[in-house]
Amino acid sequence: MRLVLPLGLMGSLVLNAAELESLLGSEKQDVQKYKQTLLETTYEKQKYSWINPLGVALEYNTNESAQSNAVGESKSAYVNFNQDVFRSGGIYYSMDYAQSQKNYSQISLDEENAALSQEIYQTLLSMSRYDKQIKQSELKIDNYEIEIFLKRQQYEAGDVDITLLNNALMNRNQELKNLMSLKTLLKNSRINLAKMSDLKEEEIPLPRFTLVDEAAFLEYNYNIDKQAKQALVLNDQYKITHSNYLPKVSLNAQYGITEYDNNDLRVNYDGDYYSAGLKVSMPLDFNRGATVEEAKITYLKSQAEMLEQKREQNAYYKQILSNIESFEEYIKLTQKNLVLYKELLDVTSKAVNAGYKAGYDLKTLQNTNAIDEYEISINEINIQLELVKLHFIVREGGYEK
């Protein structure tokens, strides 16, 4: 039997890296680790991308005079440096951009990890539902077999026409097809789980998910938060674009050592040299206004998209609640039916024992009662599947511990 724990006892089950690794297959674990390492490495590169490399060179040259055929040779080594030291805020914005981009990439990766966890738990819940639906379908087929047997006897006795028997046969055959489909779905779900995890279904603890508070759902929502972080990235890009058209100050410096020797002309020298300077520049671009405005509008559009995402997620939350309420209504209705079936079972059981009713009536009621019990379990799983959708959209800290 699979271990079932309340979600509160599972803590940060989904978003904890160690817990996630225990669920994923070894190959997928490596992929996600490399993605995290790449994210951090990219940040370090972008953070200092505004720093130009130091130029280092070694040179060797020979020359021959056209007049005297004298041959000379020179050797030199030098380093040079050309670096912007002021960009009207552009350097600061570049470092800000690197951090914003890292934050966006990190939440995107966290969302991806959460989606992997979600897929695993959705698969487990679906497998549990298919298992119950298969047992439910087998009971329905059992009832159809009883109905076919009784209708055939009635038809052969001339009490009913062929239509009722034919309908019973068609219903049984339709349910047999449904049973085969359910078994295929269960088999495919097991295959899908094996693609994601090295663990068997019975080895993965299945938490009982609870409803995420609406305020927390909107505050810690991956989709909203990711859109907000993308807006920050675009805001930094806008600031960088704007600063590109403002004055900047560059420092340039060079230091070198040169050795020249020409024995034929008796000319040689050996020494060092250096140069240093500052340059103030500002581009004058006809498209400056349009380029800056384009970056600004892109940022403002992302802000509007974030507000739109909030509206969509709020509607999504209400839609999930509506689905859950519908499943709860199905459960209540089925529970009422079970009360009636219990009464009928008591009456029918006594009638069978007294010889007033056939055993087929009792068996049909018992099967129907069990079918409705499975129906309750199936709808409880349907509710869990809806709650899973909410839980995995919320980042760590947004659901009850």
Write out the two tokens for 37: 């390492």
Q: What is the pLDDT of residue 71?
A: 67
User: For position 253, which CATH number holds?
Assistant: 2.20.200.10
The tens place of each residue's pLDDT in the chain, 401 residues long, gives 343 434 433 333 444 556 666 788 888 888 989 999 999 999 998 888 888 888 888 887 777 665 556 666 778 888 888 888 878 888 888 999 999 999 999 999 999 999 999 999 999 999 999 999 999 999 999 999 999 999 999 888 888 889 999 999 999 999 999 999 999 999 999 999 999 998 888 889 888 999 999 999 999 999 999 999 999 999 999 999 888 888 988 888 888 888 877 665 555 667 788 888 988 888 888 888 998 999 999 999 999 999 999 999 999 999 999 999 999 999 999 999 999 999 998 998 888 888 777 788 899 999 999 999 999 999 999 999 999 999 999 987 544 43
Q: Supply angle C-alpha 303, 111, 239, rounded to 5.
A: 35
Please tell me what DSSP assigns to residue 202.
G
d(CA 278, CA 261): 34
In a domain, residue 400? The reply is no
**142 and 56 both lie in a single domain:** no
**324 and 378 both lie in a single domain:** yes
**225 and 329 both lie in a single domain:** yes
**198 and 330 both lie in a single domain:** yes
Q: What is the pLDDT of residue 263?
A: 60
In a domain, residue 228? The reply is yes
d(CA 212, CA 386): 11
In a domain, residue 293? The reply is no
Q: Tell me, what amino acid is at 13? A: L
**344 and 197 both lie in a single domain:** yes
In a domain, residue 194? The reply is yes
**206 and 338 both lie in a single domain:** yes
**Would you tell me the crossing angle of helices 90-156 and 26-47 to the nearest 10 degrees?**
160
In a domain, residue 340? The reply is yes
Indicate the Cα dihedral angle 313, 315, 320, 324, nearest 10°: 150
**Would you tell me the crossing angle of helices 359-391 and 288-354 to the nearest 10 degrees?**
160
**155 and 67 both lie in a single domain:** no
For the chain, the distance separating the N- and C-terminal CA atoms, rounded to the nearest angstrom, is: 25
Q: What is the pLDDT of residue 218?
A: 94
**170 and 201 both lie in a single domain:** yes
- Please, which residues have CB within 8 angstroms of residue 8's CB and are 6 or more apart in sequence? 210, 400, 401
d(CA 272, CA 303): 57
Expressed as residue numbers, the domain containing 59 is 52-85+248-281
d(CA 192, CA 184): 12
Select from 30, 32, 15, 23 the least CA-distant residue to 193.
Answer: 23
Write out the two tokens for 122: 């959705």
Select from 203, 178, 201, 177 the least CA-distant residue to 189.
Answer: 201
- Determine phi and psi for 2, rounding to 5 degrees: -70, 140
d(CA 344, CA 355): 16
Residue 154 near residue 168 (C-beta atoms within 8 A): no
**175 and 276 both lie in a single domain:** no
Indicate the Cα dihedral angle 357, 360, 362, 366, nearest 10°: -170
Number of structural domains found in the chain: 2
In a domain, residue 173? The reply is yes
Q: What is the pLDDT of residue 160?
A: 83
Q: Tell me, what amino acid is at 192? A: N
**258 and 239 both lie in a single domain:** no
Write out the two tokens for 305: 């998209």
**275 and 229 both lie in a single domain:** no
Residue 109 near residue 394 (C-beta atoms within 8 A): no
**307 and 233 both lie in a single domain:** yes
Residue 301 near residue 231 (C-beta atoms within 8 A): no
Question: From the CB of residue 30, how many other CB atoms can be counted at a distance below 10 Å?
Answer: 11
In a domain, residue 91? The reply is yes
Residue for token pair 């499943």: 327
Residue 362 near residue 345 (C-beta atoms within 8 A): yes
Indicate the Cα dihedral angle 364, 368, 371, 372, nearest 10°: -170
How many residues appear in the chain? 401
Strands 248-262 and 71-86: antiparallel
User: For position 357, which CATH number holds?
Assistant: 1.20.1600.10
In a domain, residue 397? The reply is no
- Determine phi and psi for 343, rounding to 5 degrees: -65, -45
Half-sphere exposure of 302 (CA within 13 A, CB side): 20
Q: What is the pLDDT of residue 266?
A: 58
Q: What is the pLDDT of residue 18?
A: 60
**DSSP letter string over 161-186?**
-HHHHHHHHHHHHHHHHHHHHHHHHH
d(CA 187, CA 184): 5
